[in-house]
Structure 1
Amino acid sequence: MSIDHLLNTTAAVTRKDDTDDGGGGRASAWVAVGILPCRRSQPTAIEREVAAAGGGDLSWPVYFSAGADIKRGDRLQVDGLALEVLAVYPPSQHIYLRADCRHRQGEEPL
């Protein structure tokens, strides 16, 4: 079984890459992982109301095919939204992968 027919948009995935800077320290850069098909769900009505009033966080569940290369800490660009991946977990049957993401209203994109 597959959910591929339900994946109606795409996510541009970037991941933080730490490397040695040659002087004993570390340098970080965001590197492109790829563009993956996905489906983005909506935040709840209460979250939207609270976030609109005070510039808060909105949670956005994003669904991918099972085995997609998504990790905690990744950044996603989906439908014009900059999302940070907070957690990734598969369901009991490995049909899809769910990434719980955050979008902070009132801030510049990630």
Structure 2
Amino acid sequence: MSRVGRLLNRRIEVWREASVDDGGGGQATTWVHQSTPRARRSQPSARERTAADQAGAELNETWYFAPGTDVQRRDQLRPPGRVLKVVAVFEPSEDGTYLRADCTLVQPLNSTT
């Protein structure tokens, strides 16, 4: 297990957009469940929020995963009651340490507001 492995205290669903045949000769877009890896949620620091603002993105949550976990930009993370869009994925300068996913909150499709 990686050094970060013992800190991954939750499981979170990872969903990815995919194109499927719509039955009428066209394509439709849908979300497909990829996996439910172990992860850790962390609040972004003031510096991370400022960097995100400067890049034109809102940063709501940061999630950490074991190195090699299949999480990509534009994926959705779905903790209970929320849907998050992955806006960036980073690996630290030391390979094999962890994978970090910066996320922004997405309004769930079935929400009534």
The TM-score with structure 1 as length reference comes to 0.74
Long gaps (5+) in structure 1: 48-56
| Higher strand fraction (1 or 2) | 1
Aligned to 2:77: 76
Aligned to 1:51: none
Deviation at 1:77, TM superposition (A): 1.2
Deviation at 1:74, TM superposition (A): 0.7
Deviation at 1:39, TM superposition (A): 0.4
Aligned to 1:101: 103
**AA matched with 1:95:** T
Residue aligned with 1:14, SS? strand
Deviation at 1:82, TM superposition (A): 1.6
Q: CA RMSD in A?
A: 2.2
Moved more, 71-80 or 17-26: 17-26
Deviation at 1:37, TM superposition (A): 0.4
Residue aligned with 1:100, SS? strand
The whole-number CA distance in structure 1 between the counterparts of 2:82 and 2:20 is 28
Deviation at 1:69, TM superposition (A): 0.6
Instruction: Assess if the C-alpha contact under 8 Å between 1:85 and 1:100 holds in 2.
Output: yes
Instruction: Assess if the C-alpha contact under 8 Å between 1:84 and 1:102 holds in 2.
Output: yes
Residue aligned with 1:80, SS? coil
The whole-number CA distance in structure 1 between the counterparts of 2:65 and 2:12 is 9
The whole-number CA distance in structure 2 between the counterparts of 1:27 and 1:109 is 19
Instruction: Assess if the C-alpha contact under 8 Å between 1:64 and 1:98 holds in 2.
Output: yes
| Residues 2-22 of structure 1: CA deviation (Å, up to 9, x unaligned) | 201001111111110113446
Same amino acid, percent of matched pairs? 44
Residue aligned with 1:73, SS? coil
